[in-house]
Amino acid sequence: MLLRRAFSLASVVWVFLLPLTAFAASRPDGTPITYGFALAIYKVGHLICHQLPTRSFHVWGASLPVCARCTGIYVGAAGAFALRALGDPPKREARTSDARVVLLAALVPTAATLIFEWTTGVTPANWVRALAGAPLGIAVAWAVGMVN
């Protein structure tokens, strides 16, 4: 239970750090601490994402530390955790087989955008990639919070 709560909190904090990092990186009068913070978060983002600027959202003139698809996944997970924290706890634990089905179904939009990219050579708009990733984030949050 403690691990689930820590994961939930970390996912919400991560989503808030994404635009905050771009803000910190874009400040022309930033301090070494500000830039050090931004560099550290961009390095973490690099461990989990390709960070291609053309496939990332930009705010304040700087790209987010992860691509649009990853942003959608993280926002979906954080949103699901936040909604769950505001609502009633689940009435029953889900079975692992339920989680597999939900996760596979949630993977379909992301897989569809990937297959589209690979077969046509055309990259969907960043908002499409983010929206396709959101169900996967929601499903992971559900699986972490519900599966025994």
Average pLDDT rounded to a whole number, residues 5-19: 93
Question: In the predicted model, is pLDDT for residue 148 greater than 60?
Answer: no
Look at phi and psi of residue 19 and say left if phi exceeds 0, alpha if psi is from -120 to 50, else beta: alpha
Average pLDDT rounded to a whole number, residues 75-81: 93
Q: Which 3 state secondary structure label does DSSP give 21?
A: helix
Q: Which range (49-53, 88-92, 101-105, 144-148) has the least confidence?
A: 88-92
Cβ neighbours of residue 47 closer than 8 Å, sequence gap 6 or more: none
Would you kindly state where each structural domain of the chain is located, as residue ranges?
Answer: 2-146
Residue with more model confidence, 144 or 75:
75
Torsion of CA 58, 64, 66, 70, to 10 degrees: -60
Question: In the predicted model, is pLDDT for residue 67 greater than 70?
Answer: yes
Residue type, 8: S
